[in-house]
Amino acid sequence: MIRAGIINVTGYVGAELARLLAEHPEVEIASVTGRSQAGKRLAEVFPHLWSVDLPVEEELSDEVDVVLSALPHAAAAATLAPHIAAGTPVIDCSADFRLHDVSSYEQWYGEHPEPDLLPGATYGLPELHRDAIRESRLVAVPGCYPTAAILGLAPLAASGWLRSAIVDAKSGVSGAGRALKQTSHFSEVSANFSAYGLGGHRHQPEMAQELGELGERDEIPITFVPHLIPMVRGILATCYAELSGAELPSNPEDAREVLVERYESFYEDHPFVQVMPNPPSTKETMGSNACLLYPNVDVVTGQVSVVSCIDNLMKGAAGGAVQCLNLMQGFDERAGLSSIGLYP
């Protein structure tokens, strides 16, 4: 059993980390922090964790073997720097260590508190960087939207086929966190659907970075438009791809067959990504670490599209973090994670 510490357990990603690690066969939660609630028991803050008997502390109080952070950006890098310096393995769910390019970070998030740490960080998407994650001591868990979009487009990018893409993504409200805002107020959001971030969204550069690297291109233009679904968990990204040439047969059915083969072979060794025979729905992934994909070719126009579904708090955050933890510690990649959604 390794001893894990969770920093900022009091948001949704933190609570999900606590849920997963409390039942992880190889991990013991040694300490959890959350400044605004320090002094309470965890179960006072989150009654669903009534059976997890831990105090919420100001600082990680125990020696821990690994640190998982659910702090927001900027606070994350500042708080994690000493742990990194001490050589403790760190898994960070914020944006602080995702982008290689500091100027890109600063355009969306403001000044970076610890830019010198960037070169040592690994982008924590096991399906693209599994070996690097195994060797890394600082892993940046991808954003929820990028997880869905990159997994949806990676096989095309890696084949050199992807010229540009439109990612029309839809997310449950938990992606906006636990803080109070008008746009997370029940009466505003319930039975309602909206687009947002039309002036640009900070998750776009991650998609461009990872797909560009895969495609060995300077740049793959990605138009990203997020939408808010009146439900709690789940992301569905519909990714419209413009391909660079005559990669696919002109008949839509044949083209789809080629695509499916491409996707199945790309994800062959990855236990949480599955190419589905029918279009998936978000609830099929609820509470699980799965990413379900459906590549398609429009019968009228020949447009290539890929539907990608995840649970934003799981594969898109806490589940992805635990998957990285498993790799870093040499555990079974699936330990403590389910591939079965809570359905219905």
**For residues 45-74, which are near a second copy according to CB under 8 A?**
46-52
Q: Is the dihedral of CA 323, 324, 327, 329 positive or negative?
A: negative
Neighbours of 56 (CB within 10 A): 25
Q: Which residue among 54, 132, 225, 260 contacts a second copy (CB under 8 A)?
A: 225
233 touches a second copy by CB under 8 A: yes
Of 26-34, 62-70, 120-128, 282-290, which segment contacts a second copy by CB under 8 A?
A: 282-290
Report the candidate in 131, 147, 95, 162 with the shortest Cα–Cα distance to residue 272: 147
192 touches a second copy by CB under 8 A: yes
Tokens of 156: 């095309």
Give one DSSP letter per residue of 53-79, joined into a string.
Answer: --BEESS--S--SEEEE-PPTTHHHHH
23 touches a second copy by CB under 8 A: yes
- The nearer residue to a second copy, 42 or 140, going by C-beta atoms, is 42
**Ramachandran region, residue 229 (left: φ > 0; alpha: ψ -120 to 50; beta: rest):** beta
Q: Which residue among 204, 209, 323, 326 contacts a second copy (CB under 8 A)?
A: 204
Q: Which residue among 101, 221, 254, 269 contacts a second copy (CB under 8 A)?
A: 221
- The nearer residue to a second copy, 31 or 282, going by C-beta atoms, is 282
Of 80-88, 98-106, 140-148, 270-278, which segment contacts a second copy by CB under 8 A?
A: 270-278
Listed in sequence order, the residues at least 6 apart from 251 whose beta carbon sits closer than 8 Å to its beta carbon are none
- The nearer residue to a second copy, 41 or 130, going by C-beta atoms, is 41
> Rounded to a whole number, what is the distance in angstroms from the first to the last CA of the chain?
34
283 touches a second copy by CB under 8 A: yes
> How many residues does the structure list for the chain?
344
CA distances for 131 relative to 40, 91, 100, 152, 209, angstroms: 39, 16, 18, 21, 19
- The nearer residue to a second copy, 50 or 120, going by C-beta atoms, is 50
CA distance 309 to 284: 8
Asked if 239 is an active-site residue, the reply is: no
Task: Exactly one of 144, 239, 309, 324 is catalytic; name it.
Answer: 144
244 touches a second copy by CB under 8 A: no
Considering only residues 75 to 104 of the shown chain, the ones binding a second copy according to CB under 8 A are none
- The nearer residue to a second copy, 51 or 82, going by C-beta atoms, is 51
260 touches a second copy by CB under 8 A: no
The least CB distance from residue 33 to a second copy, in Å, is 20
123 touches a second copy by CB under 8 A: no
The least CB distance from residue 283 to a second copy, in Å, is 4
The least CB distance from residue 207 to a second copy, in Å, is 10
CA distance 42 to 47: 8
343 touches a second copy by CB under 8 A: yes
Alpha carbon of residue 24 to chain centroid: 19
DSSP 220: -
- The nearer residue to a second copy, 63 or 107, going by C-beta atoms, is 107
- Provide the angle, in degrees to the nearest 10, between the axes of the packed helices 319-329 and 126-135: 40
